[in-house]
Amino acid sequence: MKPVNRNFKLLLPLLLVFTTGCVTTPPFDYSSFRNHRPRSILVLPPLNQTTDVNAPYTYLSTITRPLAECGYYVFPVAVVDAYMKENGLPSPEEMHGVALDKIRNIIGADAILYVTIEEWGQKYIVVQSITTIKAIARLIDTASGEVIWQGTQAVSQGSGGGADPIAMLITAAVTQIINTMVDYTHDLSRVANHTMVYDASQGFLAGPYLPPQENDHCRQN
C-alpha cells in the first residue's frame, strides 16, 4: 500500500498543474463580429438582478465613452431611454423585449448592446469590504439577429488588507465610513466598462471612427 500512496503524492502536484492548465479560456471567436462590423451601437438600460435600484443607470452613464472612443456611434443613452418610456416601455425589461427589426426601423441602430447586471455593491468579508460589479453583455446585430460579441465583466475593489489585524480593523471601519459617502460603484462601473471594451483578447473590434489599428482591436486610452 505504501508505495502506491507515495506515488499518488508525487502525482498530486502534476494533477494540479493539469487542472489549472484546463482553465485557460479559448481564443475569442471574432468571425461574426468581422462579418457584420456595425457602425452604430444602441445601449439599452440594463436588466437588474441586484437589489440596488441605482445599478442600471449608473452603468448606463459610463458605457458611452469606451464605446465611442473605440470608434462607434453611440446613440444618446438618456434620450433613447426617455423616448422609449414615452412610447409605453417604462422598464428595461420591456425595452429588452422590443423586436430587433422595430429598433432597426425606428432608431436605425446596426447593433444593440443588451446588458444584465448580476452583482453590484459592497460585501463584507470578515473585516474587509469589497465592492463588486458583475455584468453580462451581448452585442446583437439588428439585421441578422446574430450575437456578434459577448462577454462577462467582473471587477472588484477591495479595501482593508495588511497583516496587522488591528490595522485591518481600523482600515475597514474607516473605509465603511467613507463608503457611506462615496459611491464607489460609479468609478468601478467606469473601470468595468473600459475593461469590457478594451480587453486585448476578448474586447471589441475597432469601429469606423477610429483610425485603422494594428490588430483590429481598440487602442488603449
Partner 1 sequence: MESIASKLIATYLNRGVLLVSCSIMIGCATSEPLYYWGNYEELIYQMYIEPGAADSATQVAKLKEDINKASTAGKPVPPGLHAHLGYMYFLQSDTHAAVLEFEMEKKLFPESAKFVDGLMGRLKK
Select 33 or 72, whichever has its Cβ closest to partner 1. Answer: 72
Q: How far is the CB of 79 from partner 1 (least distance, A)?
A: 5
Q: How far is the CB of 73 from partner 1 (least distance, A)?
A: 4
Select 56 or 160, whichever has its Cβ closest to partner 1. Answer: 56
Select 67 or 127, whichever has its Cβ closest to partner 1. Answer: 67
Select 19 or 220, whichever has its Cβ closest to partner 1. Answer: 220
How far apart (Å, rounded) are the C-alpha atoms in residues 64 and 149?
17
Q: How far is the CB of 38 from partner 1 (least distance, A)?
A: 9
Q: How far is the CB of 202 from partner 1 (least distance, A)?
A: 20
Write down how long the chain is.
221
Q: How far is the CB of 219 from partner 1 (least distance, A)?
A: 5
Instruction: Say if residues 135 and 118 touch (Cβ distance below 8 Å).
Output: yes
Q: How far is the CB of 31 from partner 1 (least distance, A)?
A: 24
DSSP 8-state code for residue 24: S
Select 111 or 127, whichever has its Cβ closest to partner 1. Answer: 111
Q: How far is the CB of 180 from partner 1 (least distance, A)?
A: 15
Reading the block at residue 69, the C-alpha cell is: 472612443
Q: How far is CA 118 from CA 15, 48, 134, 135, 155, in A?
A: 33, 7, 5, 6, 12
Query: What are the start-end ranges of the H helices in the chain?
Result: 2-23, 31-36, 55-60, 64-69, 77-86, 92-96, 100-106, 165-181, 184-198
Q: Which of 72, 91, 54 is nearest to 149 (CA)?
A: 72
- Cell 478594451 belongs to 198
Query: What are the start-end ranges of the H helices in 77-183?
Result: 77-86, 92-96, 100-106, 165-181
Select 37 or 128, whichever has its Cβ closest to partner 1. Answer: 37
Select 63 or 127, whichever has its Cβ closest to partner 1. Answer: 63
Q: Which residues contact 165 (CB under 8 A, 6 or more apart)?
A: 127
Q: Which of 148, 121, 124, 123 is nearest to 137 (CA)?
A: 148
Q: Which residues are at the interface with partner 1 (CB under 8 A)?
A: 39-40, 54, 57-58, 60-62, 64-65, 68-69, 71-80, 82-83, 105-110, 183, 186, 209-210, 219-221
